[in-house]
Amino acid sequence: MEMRKSILAAGAIVVAAGLAFTGCSAGGGGGGDSSNKVLTIGMPNGPQAPNQNPLATGSASLSLGYAYVVYESLMQINELHPTDEPTPWLAESVEWNDDSTQAIITARDGVKWSDGEDFTADDIAYSIQLRKDTPELNIDFPDQYGDISVDGNQVTVDFTTSQYVNRDKLYKLLIVPEHIWADVDPVQFTDDEMIGTGPYLLDQFTPQSVTMKPNPGYWGGQPKVGTLRYDTFNDNNGLTTALTTGEAQWGWTFIPDYENTFIAKDPEHFHQVAGGGFGVDVLYLNNETKPFDDPAFRQALNLVVDRAEISEKAGYGVWPQISNVTGLPQPSGDAYIAPEFDGAELEVDVDGAKQLLTDAGYTWDASDKLVDPDGTAVTFTLTNPAGWSDYLSALDIIKAGAEELGATATVEPAVQDTWFNDIIPFGNFQATLHWTDGGSTPWNLYSNIMDGASYVPLGETANWNFGRYQNDAVTQALAAFKGASDDATRAEAMQVIQDAFVNDAPGLVIWSRPAVAQYSTVNYTGFPSEDDPYANPQPTGPQAALILSKLEPTK
């Protein structure tokens, strides 16, 4: 996945094997005694049904995150620094061919399942074949797996298309034991015993709380956290209260004014960390209806959106400001910014925006209302679900910017289900905020906004490109970036993509959406921090096993 300043070294990429647990040699589960202090992890997801299946979307184990301390991934990736090389985990190495259509996975030796059976390359091959054969479980690579074969301790996975932009998805796949799963329906299986390779075992389950105990045979050594408890709360407010009272010591939720609401309650021990990655929130603009069918108006609106104010007042500083004209979060995106846009900053420029409009044939009436070249007053509606306070506050600031141009904008909250099921997919909006995927390159960000491969007419269901942007050169460049095997091709493709993004303004990237987590160091230290951002800080991903290997009882 590496894409340094030169975009990526051509040829096969070999991820070197090494000790998976840095804590095995320094500070993490190197066989020391576990603490008797409980680490309580909270999520605002409501009561859970007794389903532990780590592959079934919506299961309790995935919803609350305890799947990730029982089942492990092939590699560990640092989503805060997506261009970093992955860390070996259940795989000692992964080698890709030049065009990223084949991965050779070498299984780690000396690993056992928690029932004492040996972990082998066959388990890796089975776990991937299981996804290939079960579309309901194959979210990451639908219809993209080719042949899957085993030779000794190596698994060769062929793909039908280049996976250059999706390598991290392979690294993050959770591996399950063939000797258990081969005899069950993988979709309906509730996995009550949870036989995994990870550092913890399921102890007790209730719909409100799940406890985990250390796995005495864990290949990475005995973890220092003796008991994990996963509590579920009915909403964000419930989890916020639990975090501020110390009832929960690790979790993630959006806390408005988090410095006063949360950290101020115990500044020595309470922390919030956020950063990194390519996830952003975008103001999708309906490119097929007025006023956003005109690139000049889209560009003008882009010049009056005050992203600094939005980040400070709507995002409470949690969602960092986007500064570069390419829309890329920094520093994650620094290596991908085309030379002509390096250092080109987004700035509010009302006069410049009005000049753009004047040059495009816009005028103003006697009341200073903006009138388009057809003689129609410029109006539009901004919409997002009611209750999404950060989004709606951001829309209010965007509305104020539009009014600086003389355009009349209205913010209309929507019913959440209507927004998800009608407004967004069918294009029943003029402007709306929505997130993009992250990934290890900017491909997802730009593809989600601009890719003609995702285009469908208004009224049909769109999975991405909700604004219905169409540009054949961009579509071809996105495909070229995804399938390229050399730096020069990717750099050339990125130049085309960013030229169109900057000059066409098909959608407006508003702020970055980094991984955010809250934690307390009253009982344990070693969490990812601003000074040591070694992993996505959230407990609901494969990185949980890595983080737990770093935790030490507070002295």
Indicate the angle between helix axes 487-504 and 443-450, nearest 10 degrees. Answer: 40
Report residue 137 as tokens.
């479980």
The CATH code belonging to domain 72-187 is 3.90.76.10
Q: How many CB atoms lie within 10 A of CB 428?
A: 16
Q: How many CB atoms lie within 10 A of CB 205?
A: 20
Q: Could you tell me which of 183, 89, 64 has the C-alpha nearest to residue 130?
A: 183
Q: What gap in Å lies between CA 222 and CA 87, rounded to an integer?
A: 20
DSSP state at residue 421: I
Residue 33 confidence (pLDDT) = 66
Please report, in tens digits, the pLDDT of each residue of the chain (555 residues total). 223 222 222 233 333 333 333 333 223 333 456 778 999 999 988 899 999 999 998 899 999 999 999 999 999 999 888 778 999 999 999 999 988 999 999 999 999 999 999 999 999 999 999 999 999 899 888 889 999 999 999 999 999 988 998 899 999 999 999 999 999 999 999 999 999 999 999 999 999 999 999 999 999 998 999 999 999 998 888 999 999 999 999 999 888 889 999 999 999 999 999 877 899 999 999 999 999 999 999 999 999 999 999 999 998 888 889 999 999 998 888 989 999 999 999 999 999 999 999 999 999 999 999 999 999 999 999 999 987 888 999 999 999 999 999 999 999 999 888 998 899 999 999 999 999 988 889 999 999 999 999 999 999 999 899 999 999 999 999 999 998 888 899 999 999 999 999 999 999 999 998 889 999 999 999 999 999 999 999 999 999 999 999 999 998
Which of 3.60.15.10, 1.20.1440.230, 2.40.10.10, 3.40.190.10 would CATH assign to domain 35-70+198-275+516-554?
Answer: 3.40.190.10
34 φ/ψ angles, rounded to the nearest 5 degrees: -75, 150
Q: Could you tell me which of 83, 75, 178, 197 has the C-alpha nearest to residue 129?
A: 178
Strand partners, 292: none
Q: Residue 343: CB partners within 8 Å, gap ≥ 6?
A: none
Q: What gap in Å lies between CA 362 and CA 364, rounded to an integer?
A: 7
Q: Are the CB atoms for 390 and 315 separated by under 8 Å? A: yes
Q: Residue 479: CB partners within 8 Å, gap ≥ 6?
A: 453
Q: How many CB atoms lie within 10 A of CB 256?
A: 15
Q: Could you tell me which of 91, 72, 77 has the C-alpha nearest to residue 199?
A: 72
Q: Hey, what CATH class is 280-512 in?
A: alpha beta
Residue 409 confidence (pLDDT) = 98
Q: What is the chain's length?
A: 555
User: What are the CA-CA distances from residue 458 to residues 128, 423, 462, 538 (Å)?
Assistant: 36, 11, 9, 37
Report residue 375 as tokens.
């003689």
Q: Residue 468: CB partners within 8 Å, gap ≥ 6?
A: 286, 287, 288, 427, 455, 456, 457, 458, 462
Domains 35-70+198-275+516-554 and 72-187 equal at CATH topology level: no
Indicate the angle between helix axes 389-404 and 295-304, nearest 10 degrees. Answer: 110
Q: What gap in Å lies between CA 75 and CA 87, rounded to an integer?
A: 6
DSSP state at residue 422: I
User: What are the CA-CA distances from residue 328 to residues 73, 289, 333, 342 (Å)?
Assistant: 28, 26, 5, 11
CA atoms within 13 A of residue 205's CA, in its CB half-sphere: 20
Where along the chain do its domains lie?
35-70+198-275+516-554, 72-187, 280-512
In terms of DSSP bridges, do strands 38-43 and 280-285 run parallel, antiparallel, or are they unpaired?
Answer: unpaired
| Cis-peptide, bond into residue 82, ω within 30° of zero | no
Model's pTM, two decimal places? Answer: 0.77
Q: Are the CB atoms for 301 and 509 separated by under 8 Å? A: no
Q: What gap in Å lies between CA 2 and CA 18, rounded to an integer?
A: 18
Q: What gap in Å lies between CA 466 and CA 451, rounded to an integer?
A: 10
Q: Are the CB atoms for 499 and 528 separated by under 8 Å? A: no
Residue 236 confidence (pLDDT) = 83
Residue 142 confidence (pLDDT) = 83
